[in-house]
Structure 1
């Protein structure tokens, strides 16, 4: 994902120090119950759609915008399914970030999926019984989006993820 201009401006004075940044993830379903995925250009792996809200942009608006920018699919955010502080990470250039991810369950309302920017190699709808390898991040978010449960979030007394697993386990 290209670095937003406002983060480049912060990095000009902050250097590589750890930045805590907002992030959004969209779990988009169509009327047939399929989930929309992208194969990322930077890793070659299949993923849910996500990104960073612009300054002043509401998280749900950012999730909807990211989906359309990356896939040409229009959607509406239905509900928050998960809020999670992710483990700090370091990019190859030395920049360190920790994302506060807000994941939304979304419903497709129009558009045909296609690679719509340089962040993706492929875009497509997948039935839940034929998902590509998504890793724990994507699997957890799809599971929570399908569950008829309140929004999941970590607390001091609760485990890191639903079911008691720490991220990445």
Structure 2
């Protein structure tokens, strides 16, 4: 995950200490299928999203993140939920420790999506039942379970 200037400035002061960060997640659907992305660093499947910058509205952050990572525009159609806790905590290869609290929004694509090949290396559409068989970040199970049935 690319580090924002804001997070980088905090890291310069606190080093690898734990940092709690606000984030957003896109639950992009087409009927019964969900759009997942393979993360470039972990190689696991996940939902698309990222951090909220200071002063940024969560919905604007989500549109920016999806555009940066896939080149696609989105329309937010509803709120899925808010998530945090142990499954949202990470220790990165450089020793940085972080936890995320994310707001997940149900979305639809407005244009074609392609992975940016920087943060994401692959995109795929999966039915709810198929997701459990993927090598995935475990926190997405909670989000997918809360997404309304199509």
The TM-score with structure 2 as length reference comes to: 0.85
Asked whether the 8 Å contact 2:45–2:137 carries over to 1, the reply is: no
Question: Could you say which residue in structure 1 is the equivalent of 2:125?
Answer: 125
Asked whether the 8 Å contact 1:77–1:104 carries over to 2, the reply is: yes
The TM-score with structure 1 as length reference comes to: 0.77
Structure 1 residue 17: deviation in Å? 1.7
Larger RCO: 1 or 2 (CA < 8 Å, sep 6+) = 2
Question: Could you say which residue in structure 1 is the equivalent of 2:84?
Answer: 85
SS of 2:138 mapped into structure 1:
helix
Question: Could you say which residue in structure 1 is the equivalent of 2:72?
Answer: 73
Q: 2:12 and 2:90 mapped to 1: Cα distance?
A: 19
> Are 2:20 and 1:20 aligned?
yes
Asked whether the 8 Å contact 1:114–1:124 carries over to 2, the reply is: no
Structure 1 residue 129: deviation in Å? 4.1
Question: Could you say which residue in structure 2 is the equivalent of 1:35?
Answer: 34
Question: Could you say which residue in structure 2 is the equivalent of 1:151?
Answer: none
Q: 2:49 and 2:58 mapped to 1: Cα distance?
A: 11
5+ residue gaps, structure 1: 149-169
Aligned residues: 146
Question: Could you say which residue in structure 2 is the equivalent of 1:47?
Answer: 46
Q: 2:90 and 2:38 mapped to 1: Cα distance?
A: 21
